[in-house]
Chains A and B, each alone.
Chain A
Amino acid sequence: MTKVLLSIHVLAAIVAVGPVTVAASMFPPAARRGDTATLRLLHRICVVYALIGVAVPVFGLATAANLGVLTDAWLLTSIALTAAAAALLGLVILPRQRRTADGTDGTDPGPLGMLTGVFNLLWAVVVILMIVRPGSTTGA
């Protein structure tokens, strides 16, 4: 059952987080062009896939509980970084995107490009932690 849970976890990470990183990265250039139709579409992709993305930590925690690795340092670090990335996306990036797409902030993306870069970097670090698993004894 662990393998099924892990497969769903990885599949959800690819299918849900992937589109968010790409669409969020495409948002600031579209905002500078003032392309509001594209902004709305990119924002909608980010929101919907961010919502579907709750499957990633849920199935990740279920996998970890099955493997008995919930208190490993590499996993706790990953959970903290994931929480930081999710908070950055939900509390800063998405609201700012919405205001930009609605035109209430003008179409100046401001620091949105940098914030999205930080978000993508956090995910990259989490993925590397998931692969390298420093200190883990459960094999390569």
Chain B
Amino acid sequence: MAPITLLRTAALAELASLAVLLANLATVHLAPVASLVGPIHGCAYLLVIGTTWHLTRTAPATLLAAVPVLGGVLALRRIRDLRP
């Protein structure tokens, strides 16, 4: 898997997993869903930061990637701007 594909996947997972967590919290509030999707969200968050660092090797882009929830999307936009 190319690192940019990894970043896209992780960025999507970061958003989708949080949506599932919040939907679960607002509706049925099932504990097993939270304990499974919670680590998936954490994983995606760390993967976004690591992959962005690998792709850009710059502190500003990596800090952007560390923004909760939107980090992946912001990092993808930054990388698109860096490589037209």
Q: Point out residues on A near B: beta carbons under 8 Å.
A: 1, 4-5, 8, 47-48, 51-52, 54-55, 58-59, 61-62, 66
Contact = CB atoms under 8 A, between A and B. Distances in A.
Contacts of A47: 3, 54
B39 to A, nearest CB: 4
Nearest to A56: B43
6 contacts: A1-B32, A5-B36, A51-B3, A55-B43, A58-B39, A62-B38
Interface residues of B, number: 16
A1 B40 CA distance: 14
Contact of A51 (B31, B32, B36, B54): B54
At the interface, is chain B mostly helix, strand, loop or mixed?
A: helix
At the interface, is chain A mostly helix, strand, loop or mixed?
A: helix
B3 A59 contact: no
Contact of B1 (A1, A5, A48): A48
A51 B50 contact: yes
Contacts of B47: 51-52, 54-55
A51 to B, nearest CB: 5
Of A51, A54, A61, most B-chain CB atoms within 10 Å: A51
